[in-house]
Chain A
Amino acid sequence: AQSVTQLDSQVPVFEEAPVELRCNYSSSVSVYLFWYVQYPNQGLQLLLKYLSGSTLVESINGFEAEFNKSQTSFHLRKPSVHISDTAEYFCAVIHRNYGGSQGNLIFGKGTKLSVKP
């Protein structure tokens, strides 16, 4: 069975400092990987995804994540955070099912990023 582990439930950090949110997954099959962000009282928004190709993927607001197959990790990083990055971040995987129907997203428990001035 697939599972996703987000090692830190809460990450406090000062504004303009770098941050890394860790995500590890376990799966006996190939997966696609996602990071979602959830702001208070809102739904989830896709931040970035890895489907294939370059193992380093970037978002439009400065986040990046690197797929590491040997370590089964997909850590999220940002070199300099802003107050507005305060939110909960979820790592998720989906079973790679070639040409088949969509599987369901399996989420980690989430990491609450708190950016302090």
Chain B
Amino acid sequence: KAGVTQTPRYLIKTRGQQVTLSCSPISGHRSVSWYQQTPGQGLQFLFEYFSETQRNKGNFPGRFSGRQFSNSRSEMNVSTLELGDSALYLCASSLDGYTGNEQFFGPGTRLTVL
């Protein structure tokens, strides 16, 4: 079974631009979560989607948004990029989104904002 895939793996943008990151969950998984990893703040939860609905949201500004498609693939979008948005963005999928089910992580997309 293929794991969680994220595209692109690396991205360089400039301040003010917007960016879209993609995540394909493990086949059959319906829950997708996004996390931001930075050296200063560590791993922080962005949001979770289940059956095309955002079910849970972290404490990030509205510039961060996401969506999930009917095939469970998910995208996250960051508008008006800031230098502080430079981070590794990790996506994780789980089977049915119930508490305690293992979340499987992708390799991440490393975003650099210049």
Interface residues of A (CB under 8 A from B): 32, 36, 41-46, 49, 51, 90, 92, 94-110
In the complex, chain B residues whose CB is within 8 Å of the CB of A42: 107-108
Is the C-beta of B66 less than 8 angstroms from some C-beta in chain A? Answer: no
Provided the pairs A43-B107, A102-B31 are in contact, do residues A94 and B99 lie with their beta carbons within 8 angstroms? yes
Most buried by B among A43, A94, A95: A43
Number of A-B contacts (CB under 8 A): 73
In the complex, chain A residues whose CB is within 8 Å of the CB of B94: 102
Provided the pairs A101-B55, A104-B33 are in contact, do residues A94 and B100 lie with their beta carbons within 8 angstroms? yes
Chain A interface, >50% SS class:
loop
Instruction: Decide: B108 and A101 in contact? CB cutoff 8 A.
Output: no
Instruction: Decide: A104 and B99 in contact? CB cutoff 8 A.
Output: no
Partner of B99, one of A41, A103, A107, A110: A103
